[in-house]
Amino acid sequence: MKKTKNNQLWIAIIAAVIGAITTGIVDFVKKLPVLSTLKTVISFLYHSLLSFLTFGISVWVIISAIIILWLIKKLFKPKFEPPSYLDYKEDRLKAWLWKWDWNIDRYNKITVSNLRPYCPNCNTKLMYQDDWRASRANCPRCNLSFSNYNGFENIAEIESLIIDNIEKKQEGR
């Protein structure tokens, strides 16, 4: 990303230099003072900006416009109503008890978060590890160990099952 921005900066600088050189050559060929066209363009831009910034407008007009825009934004912003499935926070999936929370971001996108397994023997939260080799869980109370080699599930699969259960319930299946 930084390299791309750096390249864009160099392209802009080189384009400006080429433009200035070309303007100088054109002025020289037309027998005008060198860079007079560039001076005219810069003068035009300066005076345009100056007239825009000093345009006479009352403060009450600006404040009124800001208030009106704010009211329009408030009136037409859709209200977010959380779906009913946000109460669904635990289930027994593939012989394991799983509990989770829901995360709602600022764009109202809802995702499963803090998904955690519980021991099938004593319902204690398992110490869970998931790495590139295996998914493992240990019960701190009864010292049972589980891994995907002896039937323990992958978190991504469980999250998919949770979402599938919600979709099936919404579709009425």
What averages of pLDDT result for each successive group of 10 residues across the chain (173 residues)?
69 87 83 79 88 79 90 81 87 85 87 87 82 75 75 77 87 66
- Give 27's contacts (C-beta < 8 A, 6+ positions apart): 33, 34, 35, 36, 37
**Token output for 110:** 């809802």
pLDDT number for residue 101 = 93
- Separation of alpha carbons 3 and 26, rounded Å: 34
- Give 86's contacts (C-beta < 8 A, 6+ positions apart): 102, 110
pLDDT number for residue 97 = 86
pLDDT number for residue 139 = 87
pLDDT number for residue 66 = 93
pLDDT number for residue 133 = 66
The reported pTM is 0.52
